[in-house]
Amino acid sequence: MCDAPGCGHNATERPPGRRGRNWSGPFRSTPDRLFGMGFIRLYQLTLSSLIGNSCRHMPTCSEFGYEAIARHGLWAGGWMTFFRVTRCGPGGTSGFDPVPERLEERQVWWKPWTYWRRAGKYAA
């Protein structure tokens, strides 16, 4: 973008339709969330390019993990990410599989297996 006076655009706003790779919604910036999100971002910038694009879901597993940790914290989001990566293997699921907006009541921290869910079954 140009910075010429009177050009008609604001240099600080992003062009429409251009978004970052990861979720940019609101979240609490707690140390555990920042650590988890930073770890996933480090993976995206380093190892992801070596492994290749082999995720069968949309959003990709690393994007899912980033958003899950940002929304639900390192513990719940980390378990959701772990179970998502296990679903991505051979014989697993594929397709559109977003992070749920809210956790279900049955999903409590002392029962991490409750974060497992089949693709296509979402809490509204």
Domain ranges of the chain: 56-123
Neighbours of 98 (CB within 10 A): 15
pLDDT band at 57 (very low <50, low <70, confident <90, very high): confident
Q: What is the mean pLDDT of the chain?
A: 80
pLDDT band at 124 (very low <50, low <70, confident <90, very high): very low
pLDDT band at 22 (very low <50, low <70, confident <90, very high): confident
> Phi, psi (5° rounding) for residue 95?
110, -165
For 58-83, the pLDDT digits (tens) are 888 999 999 999 999 999 999 999 99
